[in-house]
Amino acid sequence: MASIFLELLAMASSITTQFLRLIRLEWTPSIILLRHLKMILWQRPKTLNDMPYDVVFVLCHYLSVRDLCNLRETSTQLSGLVRDRSIWLLALRDILEVRPIPRLSFSLDEMDLDEVMTATLRLTTLDRKLRGVDQITTFKIARSFHADGLIPVPLPGGRHFLTLQNSERNLVVHDWDADTLTDGRLLMPPSEHPIYLWRAVPVSSTTVNVVVVSLEELEECDDRGEPLPRTHITIYHCNADEGTSKQIDYFSVNPKIWALFVDTTHLALLWDDPDDCQHAYIRMYTKGLQTDIMRLKDPKCPCRGSITMISQGYFIVVNGNGTLHRMFTIPRMHPVASTHVADAPVYHPSIWRSVQGGDCLQTPRVASFQPTPSNGPPLEFIVWTGRCRHIMTLSSLDGHVTYNVDRQRMWPDVPFSLGNDDTSSMGRFSGVHHLPDKLIRLFALPITHPTSRGLMRLDIFPSSPHIQVTKLTCPGLLENEFVYELSYDEESGRLCLAYEDKITLDRRIVLVYL
């Protein structure tokens, strides 16, 4: 009986084995197919590292600066790819189209990869702070000096600042990183007469043109018995790094001038004649051209105002309390016969006048709001004067100039206060303003460049009318101190402050940065 059971079990096992073999033979192709599908569906995902080098390289040229930084942190391979000078140079060029900084624009071809990356990241970070994209809480103090009677003024780029010393005859340049003021060096030879105005404008990556205005009291006297003044204007070409300077222009005028404007081409002066009217004189000092003295005759002639060039055809004059703005045409430039101003008066009526009260004025800054081809729309300018701005549309019809002015307050919540209790320092893109409430207001002016991809890189909408204002507490300001003077370098975000004690009248210099 047992043998029969074993035989039946062996027979069943054999049949089962044959059945399973047949099933395995039938399913073998399907199993192989499933294995191949599994390999296809579960292969390693593709990443940027798997993309062709040329494709990633081209895409990098269209990324924002922040995206480039994020891509650099993704992997070692991509970090090496992003470290290409052409990528960062394109980003920096786009930024400079929006924020043209001469010191950098002149030196792009000489900058290596690290210098280009540093400049790009610094300008992007600073611009994001100015426009409120990245929150800022305060300025950071770099150092402080006790310096009675000295007012610091930064040179373009923020690497150096100037002080006027030795009875106002020596302009001394100091390094931003210096621990004391004793290591300063003369920027140019001492002035023969006391200096009371000076301006600096960058003309290359390392050099600036500096205009120095000094005053001489003549032995002759006027009808009131006061000595007649003579103003000496000298222009130097200086290299603060090397400590070299060269005089490139000089002239003098008999009255004392009150306002000075200078750029890489023009030099403009403004002065008053108490018995007549206001006068302007414009000189193209790089080409040896000048205008005649212009009598800015107007029934409401301003006194001790400011003058600003807006193009080679127009300039703007604003009076000392900001109640009157006038625009004048510039006469045709002609070669100068000598180094002195021509004495033939020329009558120039104003072509634009805006009378507004209750405004604080600093030297106006002007930006072209809309590029205009020869057959395009009218010219538009933004004129910034302290707490207000004027958007001006200018067109010429049949030889007659027409205009439209839209005046706007930069911060309507700030009440107007009389007196010299506030100061502004403005550039082409940003500025700072101090008020008696011990706050510094940092603001970004709208970017007016309508085409550059740099606008996308900086996350800015073209021609936006919005003004971002950030309120910051004055750094290191003691209880009895107030801000006597401030000056600002918008390329580096560095600010030079002069604090004065109300009781002891002691003054100190405070250097801060964003």
CA distances from 167 to 163, 170, 214, 256, 478 (A): 12, 8, 12, 19, 28
Instruction: Classify strands 346-347 and 294-296 as parallel, antiparallel or unpaired.
Output: parallel
Query: For residues 60 and 512, which has the higher predicted lDDT (pLDDT)?
Result: 512
Weakest mean pLDDT among 112-126, 179-193, 270-284, 347-361? 347-361
pLDDT tens digits, one per residue of 150-194: 889 898 888 899 999 888 899 999 999 888 888 889 999 999 999
Q: Which span out of 26-30, 199-203, 358-362 was modeled with the highest average pLDDT?
A: 199-203
pLDDT tens digits, one per residue of 325-377: 778 888 766 544 444 444 556 777 777 776 655 444 455 666 655 544 555 55
Phi/psi at 180 (nearest 5 deg)? -135, 170
pLDDT tens digits, one per residue of 453-504: 666 666 655 555 567 788 888 888 888 888 888 888 888 889 999 888 888 8
**Could you give the count of Cα atoms lying within 13 Å of 393 in the half-sphere of its Cβ?**
6
Domains and CATH numbers, the chain: 49-129 (1.20.1280)
User: How much is the pLDDT for 418?
Assistant: 47
Weakest mean pLDDT among 50-59, 207-216, 407-416, 427-436? 407-416
Instruction: Classify strands 334-335 and 379-385 as parallel, antiparallel or unpaired.
Output: unpaired
Tell me the whole-structure pTM to 2 decimals.
0.78
User: How much is the pLDDT for 348?
Assistant: 78
User: How much is the pLDDT for 337?
Assistant: 43
Per-residue burial over 199-237, b if 16 or more Cβ lie within 10 Å, else e, is bbbbbebbbbbbbbbbbeeeeeeeeeeeeebbbbbbbbb
Taking 70 as the threshold, does the pLDDT of residue 508 lie above it? yes
Residue 450 CA, distance from chain mean position: 17
Length of the chain: 514
Weakest mean pLDDT among 232-236, 273-277, 339-343? 339-343
Query: For residues 140 and 289, which has the higher predicted lDDT (pLDDT)?
Result: 140
Taking 80 as the threshold, does the pLDDT of residue 18 lie above it? no
The residue with tokens 């070669």 is: 335
Average pLDDT rounded to a whole number, residues 270-298: 81
Query: For residues 435 and 133, which has the higher predicted lDDT (pLDDT)?
Result: 133
Q: What is the DSSP letter of 225?
A: S
User: How much is the pLDDT for 358?
Assistant: 47
Average pLDDT rounded to a whole number, residues 200-205: 85
Average pLDDT rounded to a whole number, residues 287-308: 75
DSSP string, 430-444: EEEEEETTTEEEEEE
Average pLDDT rounded to a whole number, residues 233-239: 94
Weakest mean pLDDT among 14-28, 187-201, 279-293, 388-402? 14-28
> What is d(CA 483, CA 497) in angstroms, rounded to the nearest whole number?
7
Residue 395 burial (CB count, 10 A): 14
Q: What angle do CA 294, 295, 299 make, to 5 degrees?
A: 145
Residue 140 burial (CB count, 10 A): 11
User: How much is the pLDDT for 213?
Assistant: 94
Percent above pLDDT 90 for the chain:
10
Residue 111 burial (CB count, 10 A): 18
User: How much is the pLDDT for 361?
Assistant: 45
User: How much is the pLDDT for 315?
Assistant: 83
Residue 384 burial (CB count, 10 A): 23
- Listed in sequence order, the residues at least 6 apart from 6 whose beta carbon sits closer than 8 Å to its beta carbon are none
Q: Which span out of 37-51, 185-199, 279-293, 442-456 was modeled with the highest average pLDDT?
A: 185-199
User: How much is the pLDDT for 48?
Assistant: 60
- Burial zone of 23 (CB within 10 Å; 0-12 exposed, 13-18 middle, 19+ buried): exposed
Query: For residues 21 and 122, which has the higher predicted lDDT (pLDDT)?
Result: 122
Could you list the beta-strand ranges (E) of 135-273: 140-146, 153-154, 160-165, 170-175, 185-186, 195-202, 207-221, 227-239, 244-253, 259-262, 266-272
SS3 for 360-420 is CCCCCEEEEEECCCCCCCCEEEEEEECCEEEEEEEEEECCEEEEEEEEEECCCCCCCCCCC
Neighbour order of strands in the sheet with 439-444: 423-426, 430-435, 439-444, 468-473
